[in-house]
Amino acid sequence: MSDVMIIDTGLANVRSVEVALQRLGATTRRVTDPSDLARADRVVLPGVGAFGPGMANLHARDLASSVRQRALAGLPTLAVCLGLQLLCEGSDEAVGGRGLGVIPARVRRLSAAARVPNLGWCAVADMDAASGAEAPRAPVHAYFAHSYAVPGADLERLRASGWQTLTADHGGLFLAAARRRGVLACQFHPELSGAWGARLLRSWLENAEQEMAPWQR
Amino acid sequence: MATVRVVPCLDVRDGRVVKGVRFQGLRDVGDPAQQAAAYAAQGADEVVLLDVTATLEDRGARERTVDAVRRGLDVPLTVGGGITNSDQARALLGAGADKVAVNSAAVRRPALLGELAREFGRQCVVLAVDAQADGSGGWTVATRSGRQRETLQAAAWAREGERLGAGEILLTSWDRDGTGDGYDLELIAAVRAAVGVPIVASGGGATPAHMVAAVAAGADAVLAASIFHDGVWSVGNLKLVLAARGVEVRP
């Protein structure tokens, strides 16, 4: 089946996403070199930790422009948690620090009206589908572990740039996932989101560049 | 808002799941990887793996257990017990833990919490607080699997832990652990008033009513062990009852 390269900057915990992809039959390899990325069919940009060190690490290993180029080109790329945030323009977590600028949004701290960090399962909704004729399906839940997110106010900008979005609510609406061509960016952890998370990963592995978002298949 | 998590806890010794009362009289109740996967299939929102006698065991064994559990588990995994420094935390996260819980070592050296938060992010760092009623309406902290009583007050320590870098409090009532008498609701409320991060209630939870009460007192997650190990409740049936009683859980 698929060969997946997982960017291993030494900061992020990649083990959970690695075994989740292996359970689905993918072979995985941890990579740290830009030349590996050029050859990769599928790339995972994982992430736990803070925005500033995350970006610094990508730059230090000369990975930032390779990741940016392939994500802009819509090549199969899965960004998880901090990975999604690194694809954005910037984050309040690292004042002055710039992100990869692929997703047209800025990352903000979660509202203090809810528990921060958000460590738990939130219902995710498909706003694209909800606005259409299709009836909303049964709610699905995904596992989040974060203190920052793209706020709901930025979602119009994303959709205007061709991104399909999933949203969740934790003291306010925020971006749960964004998808454009082969790029799937999840604020939640699909690898820790039970059977639904596994289905999402499988869908991305098998048909990354199809018309429909993986959560619509 | 995030749903209330139902969290089975596996106390592990020598690679086997064990359970005692107030950390004593441990009996063998199964294989960690098999049990964790079974609980996840029943709808567990997270699994906690506590190495109750970690200080007496070699470390490699712990990582092998974590690795075996991780391979079959598609929900979050928290691992605690005997972690004293970043290297040990890194090894456990590398083996497949998503969060690490620290207790005794953080009491000895509070700076550990900041070190872990800086390296792995606050969302990876759980402060485990084992609280013992002090007989005058408060709670002091117990360490070394309940063998040592500290002078620290539980709520004040939780607050300090949050300030230093903890992203979650795993709050165990030592007095209620394994008794099935229900969570210590006053303890939960006292710690809730002291911190803004999520609280996992632990110790004494045996019925849906206990869990409803813990959530009302301020818990974001409810942890239990005996009722799941003994088959009194499956995680799925428990969540159905909680949902029927108005607790928002993941179906």
Strands A90-91 vs A106-109: parallel, antiparallel or unpaired = parallel
Question: Which of B2, B40, B120 is facing A120, going by the closest CB pair?
Answer: B2
Report domain extents, chain A: 3-216
Tokens, residue B170: 């795993």
Residue of B70, B98, B168, B235 to mutate, interface with A, max A Cβ within 10 Å: B98
Q: How many CB atoms lie within 10 A of CB A138?
A: 6
> Residue B13: what pLDDT?
84
Instruction: Give the phi and the psi of residue A197 in degrees, each rounded to 5.
Output: -60, -40
DSSP B11-45: EEETTEEEEEETTEEEEEEE-HHHHHHHHHHHT-S
Strands B77-80 and B99-102: parallel
pLDDT number for residue B99: 96
Of chain B residues 4-43, which have a CB less than 8 A from chain A? 5, 40
Asked if A19 lies within 8 A of B121 by C-beta distance, the reply is no
Query: Do residue A122 and residue B196 have CB atoms under 8 angstroms apart?
Result: no
Averaged over A107-123, what is the pLDDT? 94
Say whether pLDDT at A209 is over 80.
no
Q: Does A74 touch chain B (CB under 8 A)?
A: no
Chain-centre distance of CA A155, in angstroms? 15
CA A169 – CA A122 distance, rounded (Å): 7
Tell me if B196 and A115 make a contact (CB, 8 A cut-off): yes
Q: Given a cut of 80, is residue A111 above it in pLDDT?
A: yes
B193 Cα distance to chain centroid: 19
Nearest-angstrom CA–CA distance, B103 and B117: 15
Searching chain A, which residue's CA lies closest to the CA of residue B76? A192
How many other CB atoms are there within 10 angstroms of residue B129's CB atom?
30
How distant is the Cα of B135 from the closest Cα of chain A, in angstroms? 31
Percent of chain B with pLDDT over 90: 78
Of A59, A93, A191, A211, which residue is the catalytic one? A191
pLDDT the model gives residue A128: 61
Q: Domains in chain B, please, with CATH?
A: 5-244 (3.20.20.70)
Q: Is B122 on the interface with A (CB under 8 A)?
A: yes
Which one from A18, A81, A88, A170 is the annotated catalytic residue? A81
Residue A110 DSSP class? P
Give me the mean pLDDT over the A190-217 stretch.
87
For residue B220, the chain A residues in CB contact (below 8 A) are 115, 119-120
Q: For residue B26, what pLDDT band results from cuts at 50, 70 and 90? A: confident
CATH level 2 (architecture), domain A3-216: 3-Layer(aba) Sandwich (3.40)
pLDDT for A131 beyond 90 = no
Structure ipTM: 0.93
Of the residues A122, A170, A186, A189, only one is catalytic, namely A189
- Chain segment B145-204, per-residue pLDDT in tens: 778 888 999 999 999 999 999 999 999 999 999 889 999 999 999 999 999 999 999 999
Tokens of B97: 């833990």
Strands B24-30 and B139-143: unpaired
Asked whether the beta carbons of A9 and A57 are under 8 A apart, the reply is yes
Residues A49-103 have pLDDT tens digits of 789 888 998 999 999 999 999 999 999 999 999 999 999 999 999 888 899 999 9
- pLDDT interval class at A134 (50, 70, 90): very low
**Looking at beta carbons, which pairs linking B19-27 to residues 24 or more positions away fall under 8 Å?**
B19/B178, B19/B225, B19/B226, B19/B229, B20/B52, B20/B178, B21/B177, B21/B178, B21/B179, B22/B146, B22/B174, B22/B175, B22/B177, B22/B178, B22/B179, B23/B52, B23/B145, B23/B146, B23/B174, B23/B177, B23/B178, B26/B52
What local confidence, expressed as pLDDT, does residue A216 receive?
77
Q: Which residues of B are the active-site residues?
A: 11, 130
pLDDT value of position B23: 62
Check residue A133 and give its pLDDT: 44
Instruction: Give the model confidence (pLDDT) of B35-79 as tens digits.
Output: 999 999 999 999 999 976 655 556 577 889 999 999 999 999 999
B84 touches chain A (CB under 8 A): no
| Residue of chain B with shortest Cα separation from A145 | B123
Chain centroid offset of residue A113 CA = 24
Per DSSP, what are the bridge partners of residue B199? B169
Residue A77 to chain B, least CA–CA distance (Å)? 21
pLDDT (average), residues A14-22: 95
Instruction: Give residues 154 to 193 of A whose Cβ lies within 8 Å of B.
Output: 169-171, 189, 191-193
Q: Could you say which residues from 1 to 20 on chain A have a Cβ atom under 8 Å away from some Cβ of chain B?
A: 13, 15-16, 19-20
Distance from CA of B202 to the nearest CA of A (A): 17
Q: Per residue in A148-177, pLDDT tens?
A: 999 999 999 999 999 999 999 999 999 999
Q: Give the helix/strand (H/E) hosting B62.
A: helix B59-71
Residue A14 in contact with residue A46, Cβ under 8 Å? yes
Nearest chain A alpha carbon to B249: A121
A-B contacts (CB, under 8 Å): 107
> Is A88 considered catalytic here?
no
pLDDT at A135: 45
